[in-house]
Amino acid sequence: MELKYGGIMINISESKYKNFKADRSKYPEMKNGKPIIDLESHKFTKIWQGPQHPGVTGNMAIELTINGDEIVDAKTHMGYLHRGFEKLLERRKYIQGFTIVNRICVPEPDTNEYCYSTAVEDLAGIEIPEKAKWIRTLNLEMSRLGSFLLWIGGQAGSLGMGTISQWTIGMRDFWLDLFEEMTGGRVYHMYMIPGGVRKNLPAGFKAKAKDLIVETRELLYDVEKSFFNNAIIKSRLKGLGIITSEMVDEYGIVGPNARGSGKEYDVRINNPYVKYAELDVKMITGTVGDAYARAEVRYKELHQSLDLISQILDKIPEKGEIQAKLPNVLHWKIPAGQTYVKAESTRGEHGFYMVSDGSKYPRRVFARGASYTHAISVLEKLAVNISISDLAGLMVSLHTCPPEIER
Amino acid sequence: MEQILNSIKEKIEIKSIKQRDDLYFINVKEEHIIFLLSYLKEQKGFTHLAFLQAVDFNEYNMFQLTYMLYNYDMKVNLGIKVIIDREKSEMTSIHKLWKHAWQYQRELHELFGINFPNSPHVDESFVLEGWEEIPPMRRDFDTLEYSNKTFYQRPGRSTTDPKEYMKEKLYKNFVEPPKIRKEND
């Protein structure tokens, strides 16, 4: 049997460990894939990871039952963010809602804005102008890039390599500067209103963005050298948290987590929205399905995002309307109906399900975030039998975003 | 897609709506839901459950449950709408079809008060702790009344004139600057 471990091929049958058999007598027995835990036996310890945890954007706690340093049971606890946007949206007019939906996911707010606005447009039957579609595509892709840069910093930081977080979060700030020029806001943009976008691109934006693409690529080659060619990172991420292809449908796994194990599902390609059909987007997949494969998929998607941004910058028309004509938005009644609009966030399929009853207020708005399953049922399954020191790496490699769960 | 809808229509009574090219909705009766979901999952390739959510129509005394499925080959979303009674508010659990369905059922149990018998962890808390009111996502839950009853108004902060404050606290040896005479004086 041969294992590829940390880039070095180890032949176990010839090594001195060939007769090694781990002593598992002190670990609990497994029954139907679940350990039998008797807390009265004093063999186990219960500890909490979180709710304040540096590896995750937002607050989420994991209740761990450990045996030695091995996790035998994990349970995710939510409820530390005290929000309730879905309830708030029921009491707000459609135009008032779009200022709060972007807070549903902090590192990547634009996907929420896009889904909300498109759901309203779909129900009201509004077609937005060409140029607005291009600007929306640019905005969405830039927010994907920013979120990936934050993620790669978190992934390295969770394994004790803080340098990369300093680099990439610094680079993300330059992208936030561009967002500020484009929209007026750094983190929350409130840019894609129903009917189009709020402002035109500022003068000199394209040149600045192209310069920044070159700088980001230079940084990414440093990241590649120090992260993906690092023996410690490889030995810790390879084999960690394997998602098999059968699990993808069973657990509703989407995004890079699903693509890392070979599932070809990317909303930008499967159901192209805004202008993705006119761009050259390729499906990026892995095969192994472990944390390292997911990291590779995300790293390739980072480069893909940069490619797409430069493609979009070349194709944006100079002139054109950016807003469709809307009725008086303060007395805007949306025709009764139901719709579901989705987009590809960095974590996967992100969608808004909107129900209108024909009044000025939405009957129900539901935000479907990819982390909802990744952080609860998938994490609870994958965390079993790994070391507590690897849990932070696993959490970040699933790219959990607790604000999405607690909408 | 039309073929699939027709094949379902041969078996059970449904009503279908086309919202977009890649989004269809069908209305089914409560008793057919397990049959329909397993038929679509096992035979028609709708293997991805995007979400399961509820909508409260309190004036008609009913809940609408929406199961959103996706087919990877046809690239089509299919929403299945089921109307259930609001008084009884109970529904068959689908945790055996999808392993993440229990999460949505736990959430609906807590936030809408819809019970899913035999669903794992359905009684555990999701985001609320020690909640004694009616489930908060129901439309007859009055948020203003609840917050008036539960929380008290905090008195406003005492305000001070910044100039006086700085004089007292920081610059004890403060000397009044000489007044500049205006030209008119």
The token duo for A181 is 């020029």
pLDDT grade, residue B183 (50/70/90)?
low
SS3 (DSSP) at A29: coil
Candidates A373, A379, A404, partner chain B, best to mutate (most B CBs within 10 A): A373
Which chain A positions have a beta carbon within 8 Å of B21's beta carbon?
none
Q: Determine contact, residues A393/A151, Cβ cutoff 8 Å.
A: no
Q: Which residues of chain A have pLDDT under 50?
A: 1-10
Task: Please tell me which residue of chain A has the smallest CA distance to B112.
Answer: A87
Q: Determine contact, residues B49/B67, Cβ cutoff 8 Å.
A: yes
Residue A306: name the closest of A187, A397, A181, A221 by CA.
A221
Bridge partners of A71, per DSSP, are A66
Residues 116-155 of B with CB under 8 A from A: 125-129, 136-137, 139, 143
Q: Determine contact, residues A349/B50, Cβ cutoff 8 Å.
A: yes
DSSP structural state of residue A42: S
Which chain B positions have a beta carbon within 8 Å of A338's beta carbon?
19, 25, 66, 79, 81
What's the pLDDT at B133?
87
SS3 (DSSP) at A152: helix
Percent of chain A whose predicted confidence (pLDDT) is above 90: 54
Please provide the DSSP assignment of A173-217 as one string: HHHHHHHHHHHS-SS------TTB-SSPPPTTHHHHHHHHHHHHH
Residue A159: name the closest of A105, A226, A221, A218 by CA.
A226
A368 and B50: CB-CB below 8 Å?
yes
Which residues does A10 contact at the CB level (< 8 Å), separation at least 6? A2, A3
What's the pLDDT at B29?
93
Partner residue facing B25 (CB), from A250, A338, A372? A338
Alpha-carbon torsion, ordered A192, A401, B48, A121, to 10 deg: -10
Task: Please tell me which residue of chain B has the smallest CA distance to A81.
Answer: B127
Alpha-carbon torsion, ordered B32, B35, B109, B56, to 10 deg: -40
Please tell me the distance from the alpha carbon of residue A248 to that of residue B79, in angstroms, as a whole number.
20
The token duo for A231 is 């023996």
Condensed to tens digits (0 to 9), the pLDDT of residues A139-190 reads: 999 999 999 999 999 999 888 888 999 999 999 999 999 999 999 999 899 9
Candidates B24, B127, B129, B144, partner chain A, best to mutate (most A CBs within 10 A): B127
Degrees (nearest 5) of the Cα angle A47, A257, A244?
85
Bridge partners of A63, per DSSP, are A48, A75
B99 and A250: CB-CB below 8 Å?
yes
Which chain B positions have a beta carbon within 8 Å of A357's beta carbon?
57
Please tell me the distance from the alpha carbon of residue A25 to that of residue A16, in angstroms, as a whole number.
23
Instruction: Please state the separation of Cα B138 from the chain's center in Å.
Output: 10
Please tell me the distance from the alpha carbon of residue A162 to that of residue A160, in angstroms, as a whole number.
6
What's the pLDDT at A10?
47
The token duo for B124 is 């555990």
Residue A213: name the closest of A188, A178, A237 by CA.
A178
Partner residue facing B22 (CB), from A271, A373, A378? A271
A79 and B47: CB-CB below 8 Å?
no
Which residues does B87 contact at the CB level (< 8 Å), separation at least 6? B61
Q: H-helix or E-strand containing A354?
A: strand A348-356
Helix axes A110-124, A94-101, angle to 10 degrees: 160
Instruction: Compute CA distances B169 → B160, B162, B163, whole Å.
Output: 12, 10, 10
Please provide the DSSP assignment of A248-276 as one string: HHHTT--THHHHTTT----HHHHS--TTG
B55 and A355: CB-CB below 8 Å?
yes
User: The pTM is what?
Assistant: 0.88
- Whole-angstrom distance between the N-terminal and C-terminal Cα of chain A? 47
A337 and B128: CB-CB below 8 Å?
no
Please tell me the distance from the alpha carbon of residue A66 to that of residue A74, in angstroms, as a whole number.
9
Question: Distance, in angstroms, between A78 CA and closest chain B CA?
Answer: 5
What's the pLDDT at A54?
64
Instruction: Compute CA distances B183 → B178, B180, whole Å.
Output: 15, 9
Partner residue facing A250 (CB), from B19, B25, B98? B98
What's the pLDDT at B26?
94
Q: Determine contact, residues A285/A262, Cβ cutoff 8 Å.
A: yes
For the four alpha carbons of B94, B98, B103 and B107, in that order, the dihedral sign comes to negative
Would you tell me how many other CB atoms lie within 10 Å of the CB of residue A20? 8
What's the pLDDT at A272?
93
The token duo for A291 is 């944390």
Partner residue facing B51 (CB), from A87, A263, A366? A366
What's the pLDDT at B177?
73
Condensed to tens digits (0 to 9), the pLDDT of residues B94-120 reads: 999 999 999 999 999 999 999 999 988
Task: Please tell me which residue of chain B has the smallest CA distance to A265.
Answer: B72
ipTM above 0.85, yes or no: yes
Please tell me the distance from the alpha carbon of residue B102 to that of residue B41, in angstroms, as a whole number.
17
Partner residue facing B68 (CB), from A84, A340, A377? A340
Helix axes A130-158, A110-124, angle to 10 degrees: 150
Which chain A positions have a beta carbon within 8 Å of B129's beta carbon?
79
Instruction: Compute CA distances A365 → A49, A58, A116, B102, whole Å.
Output: 32, 22, 9, 21
Candidates A118, A120, A364, partner chain B, best to mutate (most B CBs within 10 A): A364
- Whole-angstrom distance between the N-terminal and C-terminal Cα of chain B? 90
What's the pLDDT at B2?
87
Task: Please tell me which residue of chain A has the smallest CA distance to B50.
Answer: A252
Please tell me the distance from the alpha carbon of residue A63 to that of residue A40, in angstroms, as a whole number.
17
Question: Distance, in angstroms, between B8 CA and closest chain A CA?
Answer: 22
DSSP structural state of residue A305: H
In residues, how long is chain A?
407
B75 and A270: CB-CB below 8 Å?
yes
Partner residue facing B128 (CB), from A79, A339, A342? A79
